[in-house]
């Protein structure tokens, strides 16, 4: 009985020692080696949507353009092959998964220098965003594997906001044509009326005058007044 307990205790001690060695002496997860990535190609079969293929190609190419290659690094080209699409398990049974392999080949020799297989999970099942989101997950894993920089977001310059009371269906306002100013006409020269002779002054009939008055001459014949002269046939002024 004592021997069996001793053997069981010794076995548990050995298992604990092995577990501690595996935890303390295991290799840590380190960042992969840096390469001078020149180009990337994404391939897949007909079951993979072209939107996912184009999304991975666009994102990884932008990361390559934004990365400053390390000095003396080996020049490689990267081939991304999307092998299968599937769905997760249990709580992730509605979320899509993608398995793909990445191979880096040397530009000088054409031999593969690095290869790896990956499995990524789509964080959303929204049909409007599922494909682009899965493409971003694949591209982010490739960026991490080859120490590529994340491209900066492009700044969109929006036009200034304006307010208008004109309806969209109303016709556009027309700009009136510019009218050239006409040349100013020459100032009209009015004739100067001649001065009346010094010996004659005409009076206005509306002011009660009955004729012309001449100074320095004989007095004109004055019509008679019927009120005083019964033989006068002239009308009363």
Read out DSSP for 33-94?
PP-EEEEEEEEE-TTS-HHHHHHHHHHHHHHHHHPPPPTTPPEEEEEEEEEEEEE-SGGGTT
Distance of CA 56 to the CA centre of its chain: 25
Half-sphere CA count of 65, side-chain side, radius 13 A: 8
Higher pLDDT, 133 or 187: 133
Q: Are 60 and 43 in contact (CB under 8 A)?
A: no
pLDDT of 4 over the 70 cut: no
> What average pLDDT does the structure give for the chain?
75
pLDDT of 18 over the 80 cut: no
Q: Cβ–Cβ contacts within 10 Å for residue 49, how many?
A: 16
Q: Where are the domains of the chain?
A: 36-145
Q: What is the pLDDT of residue 20?
A: 42
For residue 30, name the pLDDT band (cuts at 50, 70, 90).
very low
pLDDT of 119 over the 60 cut: yes
Q: What is the pLDDT of residue 24?
A: 35
User: Residues with Cβ < 8 Å from 157, sequence gap 6 or more?
Assistant: none
Say which DSSP state 167 is in: -
Comparing C-alpha atoms, which of 156, 30, 138, 132 is closest to residue 84? 138
Q: Are 79 and 102 in contact (CB under 8 A)?
A: yes
Percent of the chain's residues with pLDDT above 90: 28
List pLDDT tens digits, range 34-79: 889 999 999 999 999 999 999 999 999 999 999 988 888 889 999 9
List pLDDT tens digits, range 217-227: 555 565 666 66
Distance of CA 210 to the CA centre of its chain: 92
Q: Which pTM was predicted? A: 0.53
Q: Are 146 and 62 in contact (CB under 8 A)?
A: no
pLDDT of 92 over the 50 cut: yes
User: Residues with Cβ < 8 Å from 139, sequence gap 6 or more?
Assistant: 55, 56, 59, 60, 63
Per-residue pLDDT averaged across 165-178, rounded? 67
Half-sphere CA count of 203, side-chain side, radius 13 A: 11
CATH number, domain 36-145: 3.40.50.10610
Q: What is the pLDDT of residue 26?
A: 37
Of these ranges, 19-33, 47-61, 164-178, 209-223, the one predicted with the greatest mean pLDDT is: 47-61
């Amino acid at each position: 009985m004592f021997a069996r307990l001793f053997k069981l205790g010794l076995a548990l001690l050995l298992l604990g020692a092995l577990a501690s060695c595996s935890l303390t002496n295991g290799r840590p997860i380190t960042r992969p080696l840096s390469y001078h990535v020149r180009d990337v190609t994404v391939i897949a079969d007909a079951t993979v949507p072209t939107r996912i293929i184009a999304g991975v190609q666009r994102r990884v190419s932008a990361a390559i353009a934004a990365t400053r290659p390390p000095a003396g690094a080996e020049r490689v080209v990267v081939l991304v092959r999307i092998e299968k699409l599937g769905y997760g398990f249990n709580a992730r049974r509605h979320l899509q998964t993608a398995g793909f392999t990445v191979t880096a080949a040397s530009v000088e020799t054409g031999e593969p220098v690095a290869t790896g297989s990956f499995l990524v999970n789509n964080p959303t099942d929204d049909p409007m965003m599922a494909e682009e989101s899965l493409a971003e997950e694949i591209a982010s894993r490739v960026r991490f594997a080859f120490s590529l920089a994340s491209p900066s977001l492009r700044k969109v310059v929006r036009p200034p906001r304006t307010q208008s009371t004109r309806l969209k269906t109303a016709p556009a306002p027309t700009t009136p044509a510019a009218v050239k100013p006409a040349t100013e006409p020459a100032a009209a020269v009015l004739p100067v009326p001649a001065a009346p002779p010094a010996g004659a002054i005409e009076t206005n009939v509306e002011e009660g005058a009955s004729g012309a008055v001449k100074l320095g001459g004989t007095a004109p014949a004055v019509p008679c007044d019927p009120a005083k002269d019964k033989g006068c046939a002239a009308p009363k002024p």
